[in-house]
Amino acid sequence: MSPANDSADCLASDDDSETPSAANQPLPPVLEEALPALEDGYLARVARRLVSSYDLESATKAGGVTFDLGGELRVESSKHLFHPSVSYANHHMREYLYADRRPSVSREDLDELVELGHELADRRVEPSSEHKATEFTFVIVAPSIPDDVRSFVRGFKDRTLLKYGLHGHYEIHCCVVAPDRQAVVASDRTEIDEAFAVWRSSEKKRGLLGRLLASLS
């Protein structure tokens, strides 16, 4: 986890701020077509950072709650013995991302999202020897980040082993961002804040994908 992940009020510098030209740099046509229609200009910028890794959609529903932006990341991995046709240790990983702009954020809001994460896990996670991880990441966009919210998110960890880890695990992450104040805080083991901190350059492999690549290196 980089120090920037815990930064509650981090102002952009000349070296790491995203220039307008970089923010508006055209994507390949196939990715441009995959971008969801978003009226929120900030979330539209975030979507451009995520679309190369996530399947995105606007106004997505989860457990009866509608989020401004939703995303899904699927990762399949396998190891090969002598020849690509002979594979073993097949694993799949999945991340569900939900982001919503709200007029304010409280501890109660985060508690409700964590509870929603467990409800979604009960319905979506299919434990098996091939299941490595399923993650649920919730992001709230708000005008400011209260101190109690910042403290809660910084210390938040919620990971559930399935059959003592033999069938993988599922994990819940939280992130709160106040783009007008260039402030963001995210829980441990997620780097999704790199995508939502649009005032900074974003070159890291984020979250689930980054950890998978690290495990394979």
Kindly list the domain boundaries of the chain, sorted by start residue: 3-216
Closest to 146 (Cα-Cα) out of 188, 103, 189: 103
Interacting residues of 22 by C-beta distance below 8 A, sequence separation 6+: 201
**What is d(CA 175, CA 188) in angstroms, rounded to the nearest whole number?**
10
Place of tokens 């509608």: 66
The β-bridge partners of 74 are 94
pLDDT tens digits along 131-175: 889 999 999 999 999 999 999 999 999 999 999 888 899 999 999
Cβ burial 20-39 (10 Å sphere, 16+ → b, else e): eeeeeeeeeeeeeebebebe
**Amino acid in the structure at residue 160:** T
Residue 203's pLDDT band, with cuts at 50, 70 and 90, is: low
| pLDDT on residue 214 | 44
pLDDT tens digits along 73-127: 988 664 444 545 444 446 679 999 999 999 999 999 999 999 999 999 999 998 8
| pLDDT on residue 69 | 98
| pLDDT on residue 83 | 45
| pLDDT on residue 210 | 53
Interacting residues of 26 by C-beta distance below 8 A, sequence separation 6+: 32
Q: For the chain, give the longest Cα–Cα distance.
A: 56
| pLDDT on residue 157 | 96
Decide: pTM greater than 0.85.
no
Closest to 168 (Cα-Cα) out of 214, 124, 133, 135: 133
Interacting residues of 70 by C-beta distance below 8 A, sequence separation 6+: 56, 57, 58, 60, 62, 96, 97, 98, 99
Q: What is the mean pLDDT of residues 35-57?
A: 95
Mean confidence (pLDDT) of the chain: 82
Contact assessment for residue 116 and residue 65, using Cβ atoms and an 8 Å cutoff: yes
**What is d(CA 188, CA 185) in angstroms, rounded to the nearest whole number?**
10
Q: Is the pLDDT of residue 43 over 80?
A: yes
